[in-house]
């Protein structure tokens, strides 16, 4: 396959996106609009222009080179008309400080696989591999499935990280082919889920239930819980999740405390985001105790080692 496919980027040496040391492939596009999103630059299904104001020296090169006249210079730096911008990348290519950067890259399957196999020695030493993340991996299901098969043929362990908001059959195929399934649960209450993410959670929960009934998928599932203080980390929230885990006989749970890195990214792509509160260590201990009371172990990422 010589066609170049769009991905959001690649991150090597990750230790919190599946077992061992891993390389993450970030897929572009996501159907959710989580208020706390930490990768807002990956939500769009196309390239995204990112502008970091504190790196700009106001040289004006970008405004002069933009054929769409989407960039103007003001006293406070660069102004981008994002509706006018065609995302051609000329401004970023000619930005001497890197203040403008186009998020996304096109790679053939072979080019990408060559990058992913660079760290096979580390994968073998640590039980690691490749993680398909995003954005949302199911935003490009055909491509993800093809890449998954090529990774497995190259003897690479593959994890997929999904929000579960997608058609069941392509998700099932990906999960059956993967070694690990990282399944995100944002909130159990349907109305609250819609308020926090822009979509209801009916399809997500249906997909999780179906996947948990598959003998070749059940034991691969790790539930991932983003923990945003005051939004979805209360006792009732955790009790509802524990009930679901008992019903589906799922035992592996990771808690992901909120961090504010997405706020700066949102500002840099012209999409201001609200900064929320990270759960305190005391509250994280309380969450662990709530799960332990239900005979479920939860690993708090960033402080617990698998």
Whether pTM exceeds 0.85 = yes
| DSSP β-ladder status, 9-14 and 105-107 | unpaired
Q: Which fold has domain 5-44+105-300?
A: TIM Barrel (3.20.20)
Render pLDDT for 16-63 as a digit per residue (tens, 0 to 9).
999 999 999 999 999 999 999 999 999 999 999 999 999 999 999 999
CATH code of 48-103, in short, is: 3.30.70.20
User: pLDDT for 179-204, tens place per residue?
Assistant: 999 999 999 999 999 999 999 999 99
CA pair distance 3, 187, nearest whole angstrom: 38
Q: Is the pLDDT of residue 258 over 80?
A: yes
Domain boundaries, the chain: 5-44+105-300, 48-103
pLDDT at position 305 over 70? no
In DSSP notation, 216-273 reads: TTGGGEEEEEEE-BTTT-SHHHHHHHHHHHHHHT---EEEEE--SHHHHHHHHTT---
* pLDDT number for residue 1: 58
Residue 110 backbone dihedrals phi, psi, to 5 degrees: -65, -40
- Compute the radius of gyration of the chain from its Cα atoms: 20
């Amino acid at each position: 396959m010589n066609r170049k496919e769009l991905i959001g980027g690649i991150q090597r040496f990750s230790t919190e996106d599946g077992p061992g040391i891993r390389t993450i492939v970030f897929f572009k596009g996501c159907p959710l609009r989580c208020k706390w999103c930490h990768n807002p630059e990956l939500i769009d299904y196309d390239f995204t222009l990112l502008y970091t104001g504190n790196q700009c020296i106001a040289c004006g090169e970008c405004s002069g080179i933009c054929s769409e006249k989407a960039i103007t210079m003001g006293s406070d730096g660069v102004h981008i008309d994002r509706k006018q911008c065609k995302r051609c990348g000329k401004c970023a290519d000619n930005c001497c400080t890197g203040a403008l950067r186009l998020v996304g890259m096109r790679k053939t399957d072979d080019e990408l696989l060559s990058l992913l196999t660079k760290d096979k020695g580390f994968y073998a030493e640590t039980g690691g591999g490749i993680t398909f993340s995003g954005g949302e991996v199911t935003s490009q299901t055909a491509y993800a499935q093809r890449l998954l098969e090529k990774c497995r043929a190259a003897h690479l362990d593959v994890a997929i990280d999904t929000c579960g908001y997608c058609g069941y059959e392509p998700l099932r195929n990906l999960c059956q082919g993967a070694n690990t399934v990282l399944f995100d649960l944002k909130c159990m209450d349907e109305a609250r889920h819609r308020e926090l993410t822009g979509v209801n959670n009916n399809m997500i929960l249906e997909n999780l239930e179906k996947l948990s009934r598959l003998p070749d998928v059940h034991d691969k599932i790790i539930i991932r819980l983003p923990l945003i203080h005051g939004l979805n980390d209360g006792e009732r929230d955790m009790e509802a999740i524990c009930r679901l885990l008992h019903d589906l006989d799922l035992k592996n749970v990771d808690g992901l405390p909120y961090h504010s890195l997405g706020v700066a990214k949102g500002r840099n792509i012209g999409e201001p985001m609200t900064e929320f509160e990270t759960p305190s260590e005391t509250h994280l201990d309380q969450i662990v105790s709530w799960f332990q009371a239900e005979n479920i172990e939860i690993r708090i990422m960033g402080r617990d080692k698998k």
